[in-house]
C-alpha cells in the first residue's frame, strides 16, 4: 500500500501539471466498503483520472493488452489491476470477473469501463453485461461516472488519431462527474442510461469557458484569416478575413438604425447576405429572428408582434421574387452594402491584424470580458400547431452545446466544406449550416432553394463540399437529377426532418456510394437530439455507430429516456413510450408563454411528443407522434391550422372534418381530410389557395374522404390513433 500511495501522489502531481481536473459530486464515492465505479471510456488514461479523483485505492479492470506492456505491468500489479480481454477464453473471463466480485465483497473499490475498449466514434458504446455478472446477488452499490473532455486530449481519438497531435489547451480541462449510487441489481442498459444522463449534466462545465458565437467566429478569423469561409451560387466568395470585415462594417451602419431594439428580424434565404446579416446582428448583441418565408404573412406578423420587433433586414430582390411583404420596417441589405466606406473596412482590418486581442475585443463587442453565453442568440418560431406560432428561445450556450456534440461525433476539420441548403429560420439551418462553419475551421457554400438539384450538384462539385445536411425529399431529387461525380467529395450526408424510406437511402447509396446518416431533432432542442454516426473500422476492431431505420444514438452531451406517457415511469429497452430529452441544448423556454414552457417539461426533461423505443445498443426508433403535425418535404405542417383554414373558407362554425396524414414516398407525408358534411371540394381548394395558405398546407383533391363519423375517445377528445388508422385505410383504396 505504501508503494501505491507514493505512486498515486506522483500521479496527482503530474495530473495537476498537465490537466485542470474538476471532480463533481465526489461524495457519491463511499469512503469505505465495496463498490463498483462504472464509467465511459474515451481516452487511454481514463483510469488514471479515476484513481486521482478519490483518496481511496481504486483497482481497475483494465485491458489485457495494456496490462501486458512490459514497462506498464509493474504499475498495474502495484495498483491491483484486473486484466481482461473479450478475446480471453470464456473460462478465463469468468475467473477474472469472479476475482473482481470477490474484491468488492471484501470491501474494495473497483472501477471498470464496460464498453470493452476505447470509443473511436466519440459516443458511449453499449455496456457489456459482465458488470451484471459481477454484481449479481451483491449488497454493494454501483457508482456511475462520466469523464468529459478527454476525447480531444492527446490520449483520446479526437481528430482521428492518438498521441501525435498538438494539445488544444494547457493545462487541458477534464471533468469527472459521479452520479448517486445505484442498486447492485441495476442492468447494464440502465447503468449506461444513467452515465449518459450524468454526461448531459457534465456538458455544462464545458460551456463555462466558452464564448458567444460571434466571439468564437472572431477568434477563428484572427487565427486563420485567409481560410475559406462562405460562398453562394451567385458567385460571391469570402474568406474569414473578408467575412469579418464586411460583417463588422455592417454593424457600423446598423447600430444607429436599430438602436434600442432587442429583437431584429432577418428575412433572407441561405446566402452570403443571410450569413453576414446574422453575424452582424450577433456582434451587436441583438437577438436574431429569422422569419419563415414559406409561412403565411399572418404567421410572420404574429412572430413580429410577440417579439415587439419593428425592423427586419431583407433584400428587395428577394421580396420581389416572393411577391410578399413584411410585418415590420424593412432594412435593405443592398443599401447597407453600398454605404460601406473604405474607412469602415480599414478599421475592421486593423482590428483583425494590428490590435492585440483584448483591445480588439473591447472595440468590437464593447466589453473587456467575454460576453455571457447564457444570453439569447435567436428566437425560432414553430409552425403554430396549436394556434399562434410559439417562439423558442435559444441561447448561445444551447447552440454551442449542440455544436460541441456534432464536433465530437463527426470530427469536423479544417478543409471541410458544408453545402448549406437549409433555411436559417429552421433551427437546424441556424445551428448547423450557419454557425457550425463560422464557429469552426470549416467553410460553407449556400444556395437559396434546396430543390434546385442540378445547381446544388454543381456547387458541391465546384467547391468540393464534404458535408451535406438535407431531408429525404431533397435527397430524392438529388438522386434523380445529379450526376454520380457531383457528390464524390462528400464525407457525410446527414438526413432529418422526415422519416427516411429505405428505398431513398438505397438509391442514394447505389448512385453516389454514400450512406445516408439519419438523425432527429426539434427547434426546442437546438435542434439535434440524435444521429447515426459513421462506423469505425480499424485493423483489429469494428465499432457500430449506425443502424438503418433508427434515428441513431443521442449526440454526446444529450440524454434520452422513454417513459409511459401517463405515469412517466421509465420503460425498458424495446418498449414504446414517450421520448424525453435532457441536456444543455434544451431551450430556455417559449417566449412570453410560461405556462406552455412548464407544460413542455417533466422534472427537467423535455417532452418531445414523439413515441419511440430504445434498443439495447441505445439506438432510438420513432414509431409515432403525439403532437398533431406532419413533416412534409421538411416543413412542419400543423393539422389544427389547416383545419381552421378549411372551416374559415367554408364559413362554418361547426367542425365538419379533421386533418390527419399518411406516409408518402416522395415528400415523407401527405395530408388527409376526413369530413362528415358535404361541401364543394374544388371550390374549397380555390379558396385555400386564394387565402395565401402555403401550398404544402393544402391537401390534394383526392385526399378528401367522407366518413360517417370522426373517431373520438370516451372522454370526447379526438381519437388520433383511430383517425390515423382510418385515414391510412381510405388512402390505400
pLDDT band at 724 (very low <50, low <70, confident <90, very high): confident
Query: What's the CA gap between 446 and 52, in Å, rounded?
Result: 48
| Calpha distance 173→175 (Å, rounded) | 7
Helix (H) or strand (E) holding 594: helix 594-599
Instruction: Give φ, ψ of 639 to 5 degrees.
Output: -65, -40
DSSP secondary-structure letter at 159? G
- pLDDT tens-digit readout, 446-483: 999 888 999 999 999 999 999 999 888 788 889 989 99
Rg of the chain over Cα atoms, rounded to whole angstroms, equals: 27
Contact 288, 278 (CB under 8 A): yes
* Strand order through the sheet with 516-521: 237-239, 228-232, 443-446, 417-420, 467-470, 492-495, 516-521, 528-531, 553-554
- According to CATH, where is 3.30.300.30 located in the chain? 628-732
Burial of 66 (0-12, 13-18, 19+ CB in 10 A): middle
Least confident of 22-26, 557-561, 661-665: 661-665
* Residue 567 φ/ψ, nearest 5 degrees: -100, -15
- Residues 260, 263, 268, 274: is their CA dihedral positive or negative? positive
Q: Do residues 668 and 631 make contact, with C-beta atoms less than 8 angstroms apart? A: yes
Q: C-alpha cell of 464? A: 468540393
pTM of the predicted model, to two decimals? 0.85
CATH code 3.40.50.12780 region(s) in the chain? 213-609
- The superfamily CATH assigns to domain 213-609 is ANL, N-terminal domain (3.40.50.12780)
Cα–Cα nearest to 133, from 104, 155, 161, 162: 104
**Helices H, strands E: what count in the chain?**
25, 35
Find the helix or strand (DSSP H, E) in which 528 lies: strand 528-531
Rounded distance between C-alpha atoms, residue 650 and residue 93, angstroms:
73
Angle 24-26-32 from CA coordinates, rounded to 5°? 170
Cα(first)–Cα(last) distance of the chain, in Å? 78
Q: Which class is 2-208 in CATH? A: alpha beta
Share of residues in the chain with pLDDT > 90 (%)? 59
- Shortest CA distance to 533 belongs to which of 122, 172, 28? 122
What distance lies between CA 29 and its chain's CA centroid? 32
For residue 387, name the pLDDT band (cuts at 50, 70, 90). Answer: very low
CATH T-level fold of 628-732: GMP Synthetase; Chain A, domain 3 (3.30.300)
Average pLDDT, the chain: 89
Whole-number Å distance between alpha carbons of 505 and 476: 9
Cα angle, residue 371 at apex, residues 369 and 376 outer, rounded to 5°: 170
Beta 467-470 vs 620-625: how paired, if at all? unpaired
Please name which of 196, 425, 160, 468 lies closest in space to residue 314, comparing C-alpha atoms: 425
Please write the tens of the pLDDT for every residue from 597-634: 999 999 999 999 888 999 999 999 987 666 577 778 87
DSSP 182: B
Burial code (b: 16+ CB inside 10 Å, e: under 16) for 370-408 equals ebebeebbbbbbbbbbbebbbbbbbbbbbbbbbbbbbbb
52-61, 251-260, 495-504, 548-557, range with the lowest pLDDT = 495-504
CB atoms inside a 10 Å sphere around CB 319: 16
Select, from the ranges 105-114, 494-503, 658-667, the one with the highest average predicted confidence (pLDDT).
105-114
Would you tell me how many other CB atoms lie within 10 Å of the CB of residue 283?
A: 24
- The helix/strand/coil state of 233 is coil
Contacts of 359 (CB under 8 A, 6+ apart): none
- From 672, 293, 644, 227, select the one nearest 448 (Cα to Cα): 293
Output the nine-digit C-alpha cell for 271. Answer: 446566402
The set of cell numbers assigned to 648 is 374559415
| Joined grid coordinates for residue 562 | 422513454
pLDDT score of 190 more than 90:
yes
Give dist(CA 409, CA 518) in Å, integer: 14
Q: How confident is the model at residue 499 (pLDDT cuts 50, 70, 90)?
A: confident
Amino acid at each position: 500500500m505504501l508503494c501505491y500511495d507514493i505512486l498515486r501522489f506522483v500521479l496527482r502531481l503530474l495530473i495537476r501539471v498537465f490537466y485542470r481536473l474538476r471532480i463533481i459530486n465526489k461524495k457519491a464515492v463511499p469512503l469505505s466498503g465495496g463498490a463498483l465505479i462504472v464509467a465511459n471510456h474515451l481516452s487511454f488514461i481514463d483510469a488514471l483520472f479515476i484513481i486521482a479523483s478519490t483518496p481511496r485505492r481504486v483497482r481497475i479492470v483494465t485491458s489485457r493488452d495494456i496490462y501486458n506492456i512490459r514497462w506498464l505491468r509493474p504499475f498495474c500489479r502495484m495498483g491491483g489491476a484486473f486484466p481482461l480481454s473479450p478475446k480471453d477464453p470464456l473460462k478465463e473471463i469468468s475467473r477474472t470477473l469472479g476475482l473482481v466480485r470477490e474484491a468488492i465483497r471484501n470491501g474494495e473499490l473497483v472501477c471498470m469501463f464496460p464498453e470493452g475498449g476505447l470509443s473511436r466514434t466519440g459516443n458511449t458504446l453499449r455496456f457489456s453485461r459482465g458488470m451484471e455478472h459481477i454484481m449479481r446477488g451483491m449488497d454493494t452499490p454501483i457508482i456511475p461516472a462520466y469523464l468529459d473532455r478527454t476525447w480531444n486530449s492527446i490520449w483520446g481519438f479526437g481528430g482521428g488519431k492518438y498521441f501525435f497531435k498538438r494539445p488544444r489547451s494547457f493545462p487541458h480541462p477534464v471533468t469527472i462527474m459521479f452520479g448517486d449510487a445505484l442498486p447492485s441489481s441495476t442492468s447494464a442498459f440502465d447503468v449506461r442510461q444513467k452515465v449518459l444522463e450524468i454526461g448531459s449534466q457534465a456538458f455544462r462545465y464545458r460551456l463555462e469557458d466558452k464564448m458567444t458565437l460571434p466571439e468564437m467566429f472572431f477568434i477563428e478569423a484572427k487565427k486563420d484569416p485567409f481560410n475559406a469561409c462562405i460562398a453562394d451560387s451567385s458567385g460571391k466568395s469570402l474568406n474569414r478575413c473578408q467575412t469579418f470585415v464586411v460583417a463588422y462594417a455592417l454593424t457600423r451602419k446598423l447600430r444607429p438604425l436599430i438602436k434600442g431594439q432587442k429583437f431584429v428580424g432577418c428575412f433572407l434565404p441561405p446566402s452570403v447576405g443571410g450569413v453576414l446579416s446574422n453575424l452582424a446582428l450577433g456582434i451587436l448583441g441583438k437577438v436574431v429572428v429569422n422569419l419563415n418565408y414559406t409561412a403565411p404573412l399572418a404567421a410572420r406578423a404574429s412572430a413580429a408582434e410577440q417579439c415587439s420587433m419593428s425592423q427586419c433586414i431583407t433584400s428587395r430582390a428577394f421580396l420581389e421574387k416572393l411577391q410578399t411583404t413584411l410585418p415590420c420596417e424593412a432594412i435593405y441589405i443592398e443599401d447597407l452594402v453600398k454605404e460601406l466606406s473604405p474607412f469602415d473596412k480599414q478599421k475592421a482590418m486593423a482590428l483583425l491584424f494590428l490590435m492585440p486581442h483584448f483591445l480588439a475585443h473591447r472595440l468590437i463587442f464593447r466589453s473587456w470580458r467575454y460576453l455571457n453565453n447564457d444570453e439569447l442568440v435567436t428566437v425560432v418560431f414553430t409552425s403554430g400547431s396549436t394556434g399562434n406560432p410559439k417562439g423558442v428561445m435559444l441561447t448561445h450556450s444551447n447552440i454551442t452545446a449542440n455544436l460541441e456534440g456534432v464536433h465530437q461525433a463527426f470530427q469536423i476539420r479544417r478543409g471541410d466544406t458544408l453545402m448549406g441548403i437549409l433555411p436559417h429560420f429552421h433551427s437546424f439551418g441556424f445551428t448547423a449550416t450557419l454557425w457550425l462553419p463560422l464557429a469552426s475551421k470549416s467553410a460553407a457554400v449556400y444556395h437559396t432553394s434546396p430543390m434546385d438539384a442540378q445547381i446544388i450538384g454543381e456547387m458541391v462539385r465546384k467547391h468540393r463540399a464534404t458535408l451535406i445536411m438535407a431531408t429525404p425529399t431533397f435527397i430524392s431529387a438529388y438522386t434523380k437529377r445529379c450526376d454520380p461525380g457531383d457528390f464524390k467529395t462528400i464525407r457525410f450526408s446527414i438526413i432529418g426532418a422526415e422519416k427516411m424510406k429505405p428505398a431513398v437511402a438505397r438509391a442514394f447509396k447505389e448512385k453516389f456510394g454514400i450512406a445516408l446518416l439519419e438523425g432527429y431533432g426539434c427547434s426546442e432542442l437546438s435542434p439535434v437530439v440524435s444521429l447515426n454516426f459513421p462506423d469505425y473500422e480499424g485493423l483489429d476492431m469494428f465499432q457500430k455507430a449506425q443502424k438503418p431505420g433508427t434515428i441513431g444514438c443521442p449526440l454526446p452531451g444529450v440524454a434520452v429516456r422513454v417513459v409511459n406517457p401517463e405515469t412517466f415511469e421509465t420503460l425498458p429497452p424495446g418498449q414504446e413510450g414517450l421520448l424525453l430529452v435532457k441536456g444543455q441544448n434544451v431551450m430556455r423556454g417559449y417566449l412570453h408563454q410560461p405556462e406552455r414552457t412548464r407544460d413542455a417539461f417533466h422534472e427537467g426533461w423535455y417532452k418531445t411528443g414523439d413515441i419511440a423505443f430504445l434498443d439495447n445498443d441505445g439506438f432510438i426508433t420513432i414509431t409515432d407522434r403525439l403532437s398533431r403535425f406532419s413533416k412534409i418535404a421538411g416543413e412542419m405542417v400543423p393539422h389544427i391550422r389547416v383545419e381552421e383554414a378549411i372551416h374559415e373558407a367554408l364559413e362554418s362554425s361547426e367542425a365538419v372534418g379533421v386533418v390527419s396524414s399518411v406516409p408518402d414516398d416522395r415528400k415523407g407525408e401527405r395530408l388527409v381530410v376526413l369530413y362528415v358534411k358535404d361541401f364543394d371540394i374544388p371550390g374549397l381548394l380555390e379558396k385555400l389557395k386564394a387565402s395565401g395558405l402555403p401550398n404544402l398546407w393544402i391537401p390534394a383533391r383526392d385526399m378528401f374522404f367522407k366518413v360517417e363519423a370522426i373517431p373520438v375517445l370516451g372522454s370526447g377528445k379526438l381519437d388520433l390513433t383511430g383517425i390515423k388508422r382510418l385515414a391510412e385505410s381510405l388512402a390505400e383504396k
